[in-house]
Structure 1
Amino acid sequence: MHKQLVEKINNKSARVGIIGLGYVGLPLALEFAHKGFKTIGFDIDEKKIPLLNSGQSYIKHIGSQKVKEAVNSKKFEATSDFTRLIETDAIIICVPTPLNEHREPDMTFIENSGKEIAKYLRKGQFVSLESSTYPGTTEEILQPLFEDAPIIQGNGNKKFEVGKDFYLAFSPEREDPNNPKYSTATIPKVVGGVTPACLEIALALYNQVIVKTVPVSSPRVAEATKLLENIYRSINIALVNELKMVFDRMNIDVWEVIEAASTKPFGFQAFYPGPGLGGHCIPIDPFYLTWKAREYDINTKFIELAGEINTLMPYYVVEKAGEVLNKHKKSLNGSKVLILGASYKKDIDDMRESPSLKLIEILHEKGADVDYHDPYVPKLFKTRKYNYDMHSIELNKENLSKYDLVLLSTDHSNFDYKFIAENSKLILDTRNAFRKNGIKTENLYFA
């Protein structure tokens, strides 16, 4: 049976379903549509559906023209009707995997997606999970749900067999929003199937839209690969964040140190400090492994320490803000503070886990009057942790002069750093952005 599905994939008659039309699912759906596959995007957010079906994008770095082309070609449509899963031959799950308040994995979105698929799963369908998660998720959560699918559907007591009746794989997303060098189609894709037939189908499918696939021996290896990638970054960012605090006490410029170390042609890769970690992966993924490791009686002290350091950074930045104001006979309590940048990294509109949101919270707690400016984020929308009723202020001379401190959190390329420096009383730069733009002024400080 799996050979028939491979043939349908190769002649592009297979229909693809994408569950979750966010920063991962939408660009993937558009790639399949662009390559000639009839693609159905599923999402529970009713606001997205009419926007997408009218050819509009709600993600800034994904142009509406690309959505419009996919819709007009009749190769892409969005829906919230999950009964249409039965129309698809391949289903790819791209849903969030947040942490709960105890920093434990919240598998609600994966579980709910799996239950919806199980309601309509038919023989010969392929399912791939792309959401970042702990090793074992695909086989421990999704596989049992799909094996019981006929029972759920009321078709008797006979269970489906993976690799025979349905096919299952894990392939971690590697999206980097607005990366000028790499896109969904040009980033190599790791793929692990539950059985050899599952892997064969997964490779056939992803090879249609991705420049290179990297097969591994199991879903667990693929799941662990994603965690290693982000733990590697988390630990190295924590290292430079800690060094920033140490060197600051020693009156050493960490940015100069990193620049000098980067001249070594081997054995060193530059990582840069900041006000904290952001995005959906690096602040979250390491804790998926620490949680799972406890099942095996292992304490991942190294990974957890990195998480603690990175979590501390917004508090360190606010402490530095207080010191800067104090030097100028101002108290943080009662001061007007403008945060530059609300997204978690430059030149995108993605606010997920942005350290700017935590900075706002801490500054409010300290009694500061806080505003923000971000050309990519006109309004702060509700997140799982925060619900601020704030709009981006206009960045003009009159507004800048009102603030006791301007705190740069996100170093957007389109900020006019010279204009900001000339019209601000005090500036605290957490990204070394002003100096990189050739700005040297007495009112500029670094954190």
Structure 2
Amino acid sequence: MPADLAVIGLGHLGLPLAQAATAAGLTTIGYDPDPRAAALPGAGGPLSAAEVRRLIAAGFRTTTDPGALGRVRTAVLCAPTPLDEDRALDLSALAEAARTLATRLRPHTTVILESAGYPGTTEDVLRPLLEAGSGLTAGRDFHLACSPARHDPGNRTHRYRNTPKVIGGLTPACTEAAAAFYGRLTDKVVRARGPREAETAHLLETNYRHINIALMNEMAVYCHEIGVDLWDVIRCAETKPFGFQSFRPGPGVGGHATPLDPNLSPPRSRSTGAPLRMVELAREINDRMPAYVIQRCTTLLNEHGKSARGARILLLGVTYKPDLADLAGTPAREVAARLRTLGAHLTYHDPYVPQWEVDGRQVPRAESLYDAASAADLTVLLQPHRTYDLQGLAVKAQLLLDTRGATPTGAAHRL
């Protein structure tokens, strides 16, 4: 059966798009070669189980049959592009998705890239694969564009509808075809000069976040060393009505959006410009934060006559973002691994994570939060979920380290 849209890749990018398209009345199918992803479990993913049920009830259907891709008007590539061992984006899943689509691609179809990529990915990686596999020419026989995903999980203010979409097409006609599609899903469409400009806008947005968090992480270490209350500094600074945007330090930077250096991209799309030194420095600073948290933990224990070896340590909130079940890139894993190496006895509590393992070993889950906090030698708040009564936890915990500055002033030791 023909469909308005095929979402290729049913992960943290694809499902929010499918949800928005279905809500807008578009007949939407989801394709994923992984049967587990196509089954839409709704546990720990970008959509809750209730949202998945509503999506299916609205007519959304999934498939592992690539033949369904030959009967759609628009195809959006949302394949994962994780970091590889060299900290470069792994485009292999995206390339495979492009090859799968190419053999079913029909003339006049609009193909859009939402997966994270380097500047040049649409033209230098995606376009050759689509043309070689289909025998069609992009910009003449089918429309090709890039519109980097902008999805902030758990954000109750900025949803798909009121978040502008940046679009850069291979040709002006490609841009307009993509704009007509997204115009049904969002209130504002922003036209870039081309795919590279759209891709580079995503690179700028992602690196902006990581660089500013790195600055705050450095400030956290600096302020602790000179005895200044960083959180009061932030409170004062964010009253400036211009030239300042508030960010917060933490135990590390998680999430799906990773800092990108285009000089690490595959040769076909590699930048010929100067390396982004700020990005590399920001990555180094942010990657040091789990070790700094361990340093603060051991210092606090020592000050209270205890050693990390044999200490009972409770980790609170192990997801990468508050009030979500997503564990992507969470710094809690490295914090836990380092504490285990020191010989600490770990437990964790997270209302969104019923089971958690680190380096292939289960971490025991505390069933009674207050009992666990009172029994632990040290409680470390890594993610301040709304369900946590932080004032109550501060009273119950023997020793509390707040890595997010979420507890009331004076209630805990803060990063």
Q: Provide the TM-score with structure 2 as the length reference.
A: 0.94
Equivalent position to 1:44, from 21, 33, 38: 33
Q: From the superposition, tell whether residues 149 and 61 of structure 1 become closer, same or farther in structure 2 (CA, over 3 Å).
A: closer
What residue in structure 1 maps to residue 248 of structure 2?
272
Q: Hey, what's the Cα distance between the residues in 1 that align with 2:270 and 2:51? A: 44
Note the C-alpha offset of 1:380.
2.4
Q: Is 1:16 matched with 2:5?
A: yes
Q: Hey, what's the Cα distance between the residues in 1 that align with 2:307 and 2:77? A: 49
Equivalent position to 2:153, from 167, 177, 181: 177
Q: Hey, what's the Cα distance between the residues in 2 that align with 1:317 and 1:141? A: 40
Matches within 5 A, 1:227-242: 227-242=203-218
Equivalent position to 2:68, from 66, 69, 84: 84
Contact map agreement 1:290 1:299 (CA 8 A) in 2: no
Q: Hey, what's the Cα distance between the residues in 1 that align with 2:341 and 2:261? A: 27
Query: What is the root-mean-square deviation of aligned Cα atoms in Å?
Result: 2.0
Q: Hey, what's the Cα distance between the residues in 2 that align with 1:346 and 1:244? A: 20
What residue in structure 2 maps to residue 62 of structure 1?
47
CA deviation vs aligned residue, 1:108-131 (integer Å, no higher than 9, x gap): 111111111122112222211101
Q: Hey, what's the Cα distance between the residues in 2 that align with 1:331 and 1:169? A: 57
What residue in structure 1 maps to residue 178 of structure 2?
202
Equivalent position to 1:412, from 385, 390, 393: 385
Q: From the superposition, tell whether residues 40 and 61 of structure 1 become closer, same or farther in structure 2 (CA, over 3 Å).
A: closer
Q: Is 1:352 matched with 2:337?
A: no
Q: Hey, what's the Cα distance between the residues in 2 that align with 1:303 and 1:65? A: 38
Contact map agreement 2:297 2:401 (CA 8 A) in 1: yes
Contact map agreement 1:240 1:272 (CA 8 A) in 2: yes
SS in 2 for 1:36: coil
Contact map agreement 2:259 2:279 (CA 8 A) in 1: no
What residue in structure 2 maps to residue 395 of structure 1?
368
Q: Hey, what's the Cα distance between the residues in 2 that align with 1:398 and 1:381? A: 22
Q: Hey, what's the Cα distance between the residues in 2 that align with 1:59 and 1:400? A: 25
SS in 2 for 1:285: coil
CA deviation vs aligned residue, 1:291-328 (integer Å, no higher than 9, x gap): 57974262322211111101101110100000000001
Q: Hey, what's the Cα distance between the residues in 2 that align with 1:341 and 1:194? A: 44
Q: Is 1:116 matched with 2:100?
A: yes
Contact map agreement 1:335 1:369 (CA 8 A) in 2: yes
Q: Provide the TM-score with structure 1 as the length reference.
A: 0.87
Equivalent position to 1:364, from 340, 365, 370: 340
Q: Hey, what's the Cα distance between the residues in 1 that align with 2:270 and 2:226? A: 38
SS in 2 for 1:205: helix
Q: Is 1:343 matched with 2:319?
A: yes
What residue in structure 2 maps to residue 246 of structure 1?
222
- Counterpart amino acid of 1:434? T
What residue in structure 2 maps to residue 35 of structure 1?
24
- How many residue pairs are counted as aligned between the two chains? 412
Q: From the superposition, tell whether residues 65 and 335 of structure 1 become closer, same or farther in structure 2 (CA, over 3 Å).
A: closer
Q: From the superposition, tell whether residues 289 and 430 of structure 1 become closer, same or farther in structure 2 (CA, over 3 Å).
A: farther
Contact map agreement 1:290 1:303 (CA 8 A) in 2: no
Contact map agreement 1:322 1:332 (CA 8 A) in 2: yes
My pick for the range that moved more, 416-425 or 392-401, is 392-401
Between the aligned residues of both structures, percent identity stands at 38
Q: Is 1:100 matched with 2:73?
A: no
CA deviation vs aligned residue, 1:137-159 (integer Å, no higher than 9, x gap): 01111100111123xxxxxxxx4
Q: Is 1:286 matched with 2:260?
A: yes
Contact map agreement 1:16 1:90 (CA 8 A) in 2: yes
Q: Hey, what's the Cα distance between the residues in 2 that align with 1:102 and 1:296? A: 19
Q: Hey, what's the Cα distance between the residues in 2 that align with 1:73 and 1:256? A: 48
Q: Hey, what's the Cα distance between the residues in 2 that align with 1:333 and 1:318? A: 12
Q: Hey, what's the Cα distance between the residues in 2 that align with 1:297 and 1:60? A: 37
CA deviation vs aligned residue, 1:68-96 (integer Å, no higher than 9, x gap): 3442343x101122221112121111122
Contact map agreement 1:342 1:351 (CA 8 A) in 2: yes
Q: Is 1:446 matched with 2:376?
A: no
Q: From the superposition, tell whether residues 396 and 63 of structure 1 become closer, same or farther in structure 2 (CA, over 3 Å).
A: closer
Matches within 5 A, 1:421-436: 421-435=394-408
